Chains A and B, each alone.
Chain A
Amino acid sequence: MKKSTIAGLIIFSLIIAVQPRQAKAQAFDEVAFLDNLSKKDKATVGDALKLFELVIGKKEPLSKDGPANNAVLKKGFISLKVANALNLTDSVVFTLFKSERYAFRACVAHGLLNADASEYDTMSGEELIEFLTLASEYKDKGASK
Chain B
Amino acid sequence: MKKKIILILSVIIFFIRFALTSFAEITVVSVKGQAKYKTGRQWIDLKPGLKLPEGVKISTGVKSGAVLNVNGSSVTISQMSMLKIEENNLSRTESNTTIGLKRGGLRARVSRVKTLKTSFKISTPIATSSVRGTEQEVFYGPGTGMLIKVLEGEILGENMNGLRRFLRGKLTFRQDNGKPSPDNIAGGLIDETKGGLIGNLTDEEKQYLLLLSDFIPSSPDQGGIGDIPSPYGTGNVTVSPVFP
Counting CB contacts under 8 A, is A10 at the interface?
no
- B residues in contact (CB < 8 Å) with A: 33-36, 43, 59-64, 78-80, 82, 102-105, 141-144, 210-211, 213-214
Alpha-carbon distance A114/B141, docked complex (angstroms): 11
Alpha-carbon distance A94/B79, docked complex (angstroms): 29
Interface pair A38/B210, CB less than 8 Å apart: no
Q: In the complex, which residue of chain A has the Cβ closest to the Cβ of B78?
A: A133
Alpha-carbon distance A106/B36, docked complex (angstroms): 34
- B174 smallest CB distance to A (angstroms): 12
Which of B33, B63, B64, B103 has a CB less than 8 Å from the CB of A130? B103
- A residues in contact (CB < 8 Å) with B: 29-32, 34-35, 38, 51, 54-55, 90-94, 102, 105-106, 109, 113-114, 124, 126-127, 129-134, 136
Interface residues of B, dominant DSSP: mixed
Q: In the complex, which residue of chain B has the Cβ closest to the Cβ of A108?
A: B214
Interface pair A30/B142, CB less than 8 Å apart: no
List of A residues within 8 angstroms of B61 by Cβ: 30-31, 34, 54
Alpha-carbon distance A113/B62, docked complex (angstroms): 19
- A143 smallest CB distance to B (angstroms): 12
Interface pair A130/B62, CB less than 8 Å apart: no
Q: Considering the complex of A and B, which 10 residue pairs feature the smallest CB-CB distances, nearest first?
A: A30-B61, A130-B141, A54-B62, A114-B143, A31-B36, A31-B59, A133-B80, A30-B34, A126-B142, A92-B211
Interface pair B211/A30, CB less than 8 Å apart: no
- B203 smallest CB distance to A (angstroms): 15
Q: In the complex, which residue of chain A has the Cβ closest to the Cβ of B191?
A: A111
| 9 pairs from A and B in contact (CB 8 Å cutoff) | A30-B33, A31-B34, A34-B59, A38-B103, A51-B62, A113-B143, A127-B143, A129-B104, A133-B141
Interface pair B214/A93, CB less than 8 Å apart: yes
Interface pair A30/B210, CB less than 8 Å apart: no
- A115 smallest CB distance to B (angstroms): 9
Interface pair A102/B143, CB less than 8 Å apart: no
Alpha-carbon distance A79/B102, docked complex (angstroms): 24
Interface pair B79/A133, CB less than 8 Å apart: yes
List of A residues within 8 angstroms of B33 by Cβ: 30
What would 15 more interface pairs be, CB under 8 Å, given A109-B213, A126-B103, A127-B141? A31-B43, A31-B61, A32-B43, A55-B63, A90-B213, A92-B213, A102-B214, A114-B143, A129-B141, A130-B143, A133-B78, A133-B80, A133-B141, A134-B141, A134-B144
